[in-house]
């Protein structure tokens, strides 16, 4: 029953977005709108371009020290790919940690497929009405709408369920393929880079979009990490302690949508969810505390991304695939390491303290002031 | 169930039991929980019907009832996690649904609910109890307005704002965490991963979280499910000690033996209220047999 509801809601939502885009938008209306936003956008873009320039300079410098062919100044796209990869390596496990421990590992996959629908919408609009927006921007919008719908469905039906997730996933992908086939002339060629990711097609614009997403995601997590942790660990106790659980759930899924779109550029739609899950799963094996697991998952993800990009460059293979393979390899190592850790750790067991009624006094007194 | 005829006669004589307790000190300011004529159902059939219950500060109340009797639902109603279909639920004198003084309540769930494979240490769990205290409330917590505070002690005010924005714990927060760990005897386990603990140790950690939050009211939902017998005794000793310190305890429990042994007051529930009064009277009354029906032998038989 909830599955039906989910399907209906989602279909209506996507259909509404779609018809809005198809019917309601007239290029002459949109162009001044873009112009208005353009002033603010130009300023932000200017700053981001400056950041990119500094990054190129840094990479050039690293090249002259290390003489790595991968970093040769002739390959500007590699510099951008490494920057994007490093950002993904931070934000994906950061959000993934809050998803994996709530058994929501698959939500990233579902959102990636709706992001693909967003890409298709963007390509379609560009082809039909010559809108000229980056497909990544439409992907962000569509994925975030889908994320909100998943969350609202789960609030209505009182549970995240894999059925509604599966419906969102397939609806997104179906919508994407339909839109693309509608306009098959020349479009299908460009789709591969969104499906599988590509190092060479990371344009300065998409790198700039990613930097914005990165700032938003990391900033939000830094500011709300306590609440996110409490909601992740024990939703009921968090609600009792006065945290608006639904709002934090909405924030989490929206951030997930942003991460997915950001990481899509080099990971591709199909593999992007792996970055949310695999490094986190590895970190869970070897860390003891939550903060440790956050740091370890970021380190593992960065390792996977950098090694993967290097293999992709020198081996001439698809970056997304090799990054995931490296990440899984690292995960296998951490499982082994975790087993060794527990074997060694079991030898020492601290004595459990007795419950001290006296110190209950002290606790209560400390509580009073 | 066949109990519907007996129910209709019963509530009148169960209701004069709590009135004795509330009249003792009738100030409503001390009333921690005040549930009045609450009815709630997930579907058209009510799970909880016409239940009235008040808990005064410092009481040790156990809510008992057979499985599916609406104990947990009643708990969610009185915590404001559910809105009653009719009737009112108040916490510390405020409507429970809008109650936002979260640090006054400590909540300990069933062990099964929190047995996730999450890497998190005992100290990090206890730390969560301090989260409701972090915020702008403490910057302007005293009588001063924010601008006045900024003028008089600019440095500490700005630091307070930064702490609130970034959610950092102050040294006094950490002191409260350490005190709470010490109280439950878990200091040696502070840096252990919570998944490595036994059921009893884990529940102690959750009690410590409530203590770190300086809760006035401790609500426990079948806290000893899946905890070994030895730890259960220690656990109830801890609750008794905390109650002696003045913390109000509302315990939802299906283990009647433990309830009879430890709680001061028993509320017996099976959709409707069957009994509400001192534990000794509960043991002598026939409320148990009526509420539990054939399950009543649990008290003597202890067969689970």
- Is A66 a residue whose pLDDT tops 90? no
Interface test with A, best of B183, B208, B231, B241 (most A CBs within 10 A): B183
Confidence band, pLDDT 50/70/90 cuts, at residue A254: very high
Count residue pairs from A and B with Cβ separation < 8 A: 144
Q: At what angle do helices B229-244 and A357-368 cross, to 10 degrees?
A: 50
- The answer to whether the CB atoms of A289 and B211 lie below 8 A apart is no
Gap from A332 CA to chain B (nearest CA, Å): 18
Asked if residue A314 is part of any domain, the answer here is no
Model ipTM over 0.85: no
- The answer to whether the CB atoms of A237 and B237 lie below 8 A apart is no
Q: What is the pLDDT of residue A240?
A: 86
Tell me what the mean pLDDT of segment A340-354 comes to: 67
- Give yes or no for a contact between A312 and A318, defined as CB atoms under 8 angstroms apart: yes
Please give the tally of structural domains in chain A.
1
- The answer to whether the CB atoms of A290 and B124 lie below 8 A apart is yes
- The answer to whether the CB atoms of B184 and A355 lie below 8 A apart is yes
Gap from B31 CA to chain A (nearest CA, Å): 18
Please give the tally of structural domains in chain B.
1
Q: Domain range holding B108?
A: 4-72+92-134+169-262+277-293
Average pLDDT, whole number, for chain A? Answer: 80
- Is A192 a residue whose pLDDT tops 50? yes
Confidence band, pLDDT 50/70/90 cuts, at residue A271: confident
Confidence band, pLDDT 50/70/90 cuts, at residue A41: confident
- Is A250 a residue whose pLDDT tops 80? yes
Q: What is the pLDDT of residue A35?
A: 60
How many angstroms separate the Cα of A15 from the Cα of each of A8, A124, A170, A180, A292?
Answer: 10, 15, 14, 16, 43
d(CA A269, CA A135): 13
- The answer to whether the CB atoms of B125 and A284 lie below 8 A apart is no
The enclosing domain of A50 has a CATH number of 1.10.3470.10
- Give yes or no for a contact between B255 and B62, defined as CB atoms under 8 angstroms apart: no
Asked if residue B27 is part of any domain, the answer here is yes
Percent of chain B residues topping a pLDDT of 70: 81
Asked if residue A249 is part of any domain, the answer here is yes
Asked if residue A99 is part of any domain, the answer here is yes
Asked if residue B55 is part of any domain, the answer here is yes
d(CA A160, CA A150): 8
B174 near A CB under 8 A: no
Asked if residue A233 is part of any domain, the answer here is yes
d(CA A321, CA B214): 51
Asked if residue A57 is part of any domain, the answer here is yes
The enclosing domain of B59 has a CATH number of 3.40.50.300
Interface test with B, best of A237, A284, A338, A359 (most B CBs within 10 A): A237
In 3D, which of B262, B251, B281, B283 has the Cα closest to residue B16?
B281
Tell me what the mean pLDDT of segment A233-260 comes to: 89
- Give yes or no for a contact between A112 and A272, defined as CB atoms under 8 angstroms apart: yes
Q: What is the pLDDT of residue A349?
A: 57
Asked if residue A276 is part of any domain, the answer here is no
Tell me what the mean pLDDT of segment A79-91 comes to: 92
Percent of chain A residues topping a pLDDT of 90: 29
In 3D, which of A157, A284, A102 has the Cα closest to residue B114?
A102
Q: Please list every residue in chain B whose beta carbon sits closer than 8 Å to the beta carbon of residue A236.
A: 81, 107, 109, 113
d(CA A283, CA A306): 18
Percent of chain A residues topping a pLDDT of 70: 80
Give the number of other CB atoms < 10 A from CB of residue B225. 17
For chain A, how many helices (H) and strands (E)? 14, 0
- Give yes or no for a contact between A86 and A310, defined as CB atoms under 8 angstroms apart: no
Q: What is the pLDDT of residue B72?
A: 84
- The answer to whether the CB atoms of B107 and A241 lie below 8 A apart is yes
For residue B102, what is the nearest residue in chain A, using CA coordinates?
A241
Range scoring the smallest mean pLDDT among A55-59, A111-115, B152-156, B176-180: B152-156
Q: How confident is the model over A231-243, as pLDDT tens digits?
A: 988 888 888 888 8
Give the number of other CB atoms < 10 A from CB of residue A135. 25
Name which of B101, B131, B244 is nearest A230 (Cβ-Cβ). Answer: B131
pLDDT-flagged residues of chain B (< 50): 1-28, 296, 301-304
Q: Please list every residue in chain B whose beta carbon sits closer than 8 Å to the beta carbon of residue A287.
A: 119
Confidence band, pLDDT 50/70/90 cuts, at residue A90: very high
d(CA B299, CA A301): 55
Q: How confident is the model over B126-164, as pLDDT tens digits?
A: 998 888 887 666 655 555 677 777 777 777 778 777 777
Q: Domain range holding A196?
A: 2-269
Tell me what the mean pLDDT of segment A32-52 comes to: 76
Place of tokens 């949310």: A276
């Amino acid at each position: 029953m909830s599955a039906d509801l989910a399907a209906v809601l989602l279909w209506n939502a996507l259909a509404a977005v779609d018809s809005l885009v198809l019917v309601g938008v007239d290029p002459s209306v949109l162009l001044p709108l873009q112009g208005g936003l353009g002033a603010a956008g130009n300023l932000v873009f200017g700053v981001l371009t400056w950041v990119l320039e500094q990054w190129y300079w840094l990479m050039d410098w690293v090249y002259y020290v290390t003489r790595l062919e991968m970093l040769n100044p002739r390959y500007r796209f590699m510099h951008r790919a490494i920057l994007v990869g490093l950002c993904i390596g931070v934000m994906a496990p950061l959000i993934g940690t809050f998803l994996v421990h709530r058994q929501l590992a698959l939500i990233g996959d579902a959102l990636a497929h709706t992001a693909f629908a967003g890409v298709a919408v963007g390509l379609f609009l560009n082809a039909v009405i010559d809108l000229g927006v980056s497909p990544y921007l439409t992907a962000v919008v569509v994925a975030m709408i889908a994320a909100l719908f998943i969350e609202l469905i789960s609030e209505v039906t009182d549970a995240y369920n894999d059925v509604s997730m599966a419906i969102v996933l397939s609806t997104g992908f179906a919508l994407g393929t339909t839109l693309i086939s509608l306009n098959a002339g020349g479009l299908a060629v460009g789709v591969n880079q969104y499906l599988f990711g590509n190092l060479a097609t990371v344009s300065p614009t998409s790198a700039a979009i990613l930097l914005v997403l990165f700032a938003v995601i990391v900033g939000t997590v830094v500011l709300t990490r306590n609440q996110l942790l409490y909601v992740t660990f024990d939703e009921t106790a968090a609600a009792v302690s006065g945290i608006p659980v639904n709002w934090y759930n909405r924030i989490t899924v929206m951030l997930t949508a942003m991460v997915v779109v950001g990481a899509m550029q080099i990971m591709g739609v199909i593999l992007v969810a792996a970055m949310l899950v695999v490094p986190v799963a590895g970190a869970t094996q070897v860390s003891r505390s939550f903060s440790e697991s956050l740091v370890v998952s970021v380190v593992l993800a960065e390792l996977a991304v950098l090694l993967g990009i290097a293999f992709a460059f020198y081996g001439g293979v698809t970056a997304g695939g090799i990054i995931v393979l490296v990440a899984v390899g690292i995960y296998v190592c951490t499982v082994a390491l975790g087993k060794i850790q527990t074997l060694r750790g079991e030898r020492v067991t601290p004595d459990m303290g007795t419950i001290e009624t006296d110190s209950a006094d002290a606790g209560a007194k400390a509580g009073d002031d | 169930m066949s109990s519907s005829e007996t129910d209709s006669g019963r509530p009148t004589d169960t209701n004069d039991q709590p009135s004795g307790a509330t009249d003792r000190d009738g100030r409503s300011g001390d009333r921690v929980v005040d549930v009045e004529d609450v009815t709630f159902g997930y579907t058209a059939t009510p799970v909880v019907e016409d239940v009235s219950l008040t808990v005064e500060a410092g009481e040790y109340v156990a809510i008992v009832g057979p499985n599916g009797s609406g104990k947990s639902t009643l708990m969610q109603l009185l915590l404001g996690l559910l809105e009653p279909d009719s009737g009112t639920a108040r916490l510390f004198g405020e409507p429970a649904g809008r109650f936002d003084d979260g640090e006054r309540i400590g909540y300990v769930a069933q062990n099964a609910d929190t047995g996730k494979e999450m890497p998190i240490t005992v100290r990090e769990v206890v730390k969560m109890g301090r989260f409701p205290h972090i915020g702008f409330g403490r910057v302007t917590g005293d009588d001063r307005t924010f601008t006045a505070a900024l003028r008089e002690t600019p440095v500490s005010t700005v630091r307070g704002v930064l702490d609130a924005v970034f959610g950092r714990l102050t040294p006094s927060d950490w002191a409260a965490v350490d005190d709470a760990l010490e109280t439950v005897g878990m200091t040696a386990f502070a840096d252990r991963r919570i998944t490595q603990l036994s059921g009893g140790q884990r529940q102690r950690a959750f009690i410590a979280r409530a203590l770190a939050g300086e809760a006035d009211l401790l609500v426990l939902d079948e806290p000893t499910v899946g905890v070994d017998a030895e730890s259960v005794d220690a656990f109830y000793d801890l609750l008794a000690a905390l109650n002696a310190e003045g913390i109000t305890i509302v315990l939802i429990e299906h283990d009647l033996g433990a309830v009879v042994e430890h709680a001061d007051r028993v509320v017996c529930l099976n959709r409707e209220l069957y009994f509400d009064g001192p534990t000794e009277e509960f043991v002598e009354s026939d409320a148990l047999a009526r509420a539990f029906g054939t399950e009543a032998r649990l008290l003597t038989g202890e067969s689970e």
